[in-house]
Amino acid sequence: MNEPLIKIEHLQKKYQDNLVLKDINGEVQPSEVIALIGPSGSGKSTLLRCINQLEKPTSGAVYFQDKDLTQATAQDLSQLGEEIGMVFQSFNLFPNMTVLENIKLAPMRVKQMNEQDAETTAMQYLTRVGLAEKAAAYPDSLSGGQKQRVAIARALAMHPQVMLFDEPTSALDPEMVGEVLAVIKELANEKMTMVIVTHEMNFARKVADQIWFMADGVIQEKNTPDELFNHPQEAKTQDFIQKVLTI
């Protein structure tokens, strides 16, 4: 087995007296897709934000390519930020910039890419998510699904080694969910390393190599989609699977 790209050891996150993450351990191998599932409030999004240090863990370690991010300097984190792409629920696009400008911004500012190369890269990824014709449009004129696909293109334009998705379809109308999931599925087929917080169980089942089921701030169970959905071992997993698959 390869060295893990991400390794999480004894991770805890506390907000005052509220222990949100309790002794989280896990590894993400290169080209692996991990789906984080579980009830709301179980700590899934907090775990994702601790991986890329948007949230500072209270204790424990998060290794990315053998470097402990919890001990990294601001400069180290800035450089590592280029390697870890993040797609949020709420798109986070700049409304006063065109789609193309939104995507060009980070490669030019962070990677010091010249404008022509940044534009070529931006168009390449816009084409990849099926939105080349929207390059000159402003975010307000796009549907939710289109905004999320632009957000994915923006993250990909930095050429990250891993992509983190925090419930990428939860803010979308149902008819737009499929177009975003199709892009993520394509990335999975291309062996992009991904960690995805999702409530879309059928999607998790199809694209993930491993499912991590979280409840009460703990990873209760890890397994392949087939095993976890068809033969859950832990009582909390069984209860959750029964509820979500009978809705």
Q: Which residue has the tokens 């071992």?
A: 233
Write out the two tokens for 170: 């939860």
Question: Do 214 and 44 touch, CB atoms closer than 8 A?
Answer: yes
- Element (DSSP H or E) covering residue 151: helix 144-156
DSSP state of 2: P
In this structure, the dihedral spanned by the alpha carbons of residues 153, 159, 164 and 166, taken in order and rounded to 10 degrees, is: -20
Residue 1 confidence (pLDDT)? 60
Q: Give tens-digit pLDDT for 45-81.
A: 999 999 999 999 999 999 998 889 998 888 888 777 7
Identify which of 17, 76, 16, 89 has the alpha carbon closest to the alpha carbon of residue 49.
89
Q: How confident is the model at residue 3 (pLDDT cuts 50, 70, 90)?
A: confident
pLDDT of residue 81: 72
Compute the average pLDDT of residues 87-98: 92
Note the pLDDT tens digit of each residue in 22-47.
999 999 999 999 999 999 989 999 99
pLDDT beyond 70 at 122: yes
% of residues, the chain, pLDDT over 70: 99
Q: What's the predicted TM-score (pTM) here?
A: 0.93
Angle between helices 115-128 and 99-109 (to 10 degrees): 130
Q: How far apart are the first and last CA of the chain?
A: 38
Question: Which residues have C-beta within 8 Å of that of residue 13, sequence separation ≥ 6?
Answer: 19, 20, 21, 43, 46, 47, 50, 55, 57, 58
Residue 31 backbone phi and psi in degrees, to 5: 70, 5
Tens of pLDDT, residues 189-226: 999 999 999 999 999 999 999 999 999 999 999 999 99
**Helix residue ranges, H only, 34-173:** 44-51, 74-81, 99-109, 115-128, 144-156
Residue 183, pLDDT score? 94
